Structure 1
Amino acid sequence: MPILGLLIIGALVGFAAHRMMHLQTSMVTAICLGMVGAVLGGLLLRLVLAVLGVLAGVFGAFLGALAVIWLWQRYQMR
């Protein structure tokens, strides 16, 4: 999600959090905190998904290689 989208979502979440949690801060502070949290959370999630995506690819390649080697050994003997 682009940074601008994260900022808009963060502003909405900050506003909602201010209303729901009865924060002892100004509305502007709550909105700014929501925006910062949304950007940090979005970037962190993007990093985690990128790392997991690479690891999933490596794991899939490993399993695929094992399967092909097993099939080759099993049917090569016949």
Structure 2
Amino acid sequence: MGIIWLIIVGAAAGFLATRFMNLRLGTLETIGVGIGGALIGGLILRFLLALTGFFAGLVGAILGAMLLLWIFKSFMNR
């Protein structure tokens, strides 16, 4: 069940992050960015702020996905 939840949160975070960053990716890339962002952002927020629960994980996932998209966009513009 944990993997399914990670995919659902990752898909939502990836979708929101790509829209916030004004970048259009395919479905698999969006989910991949969201899952990566969920891992990075969720762990950082939970560790630094000691927040738990869905809201902290979603915010962290969106921020992490936006960070990954910014890095991706920076390298693609070169």
TM-score, scaled to structure 2 = 0.43
TM-score, scaled to structure 1 = 0.43
Report which structure shows greater RCO (CA 8 Å, sep ≥6).
Answer: 2
Q: Which has the larger radius of gyration?
A: 1
Flag the structure with higher helix content: 1
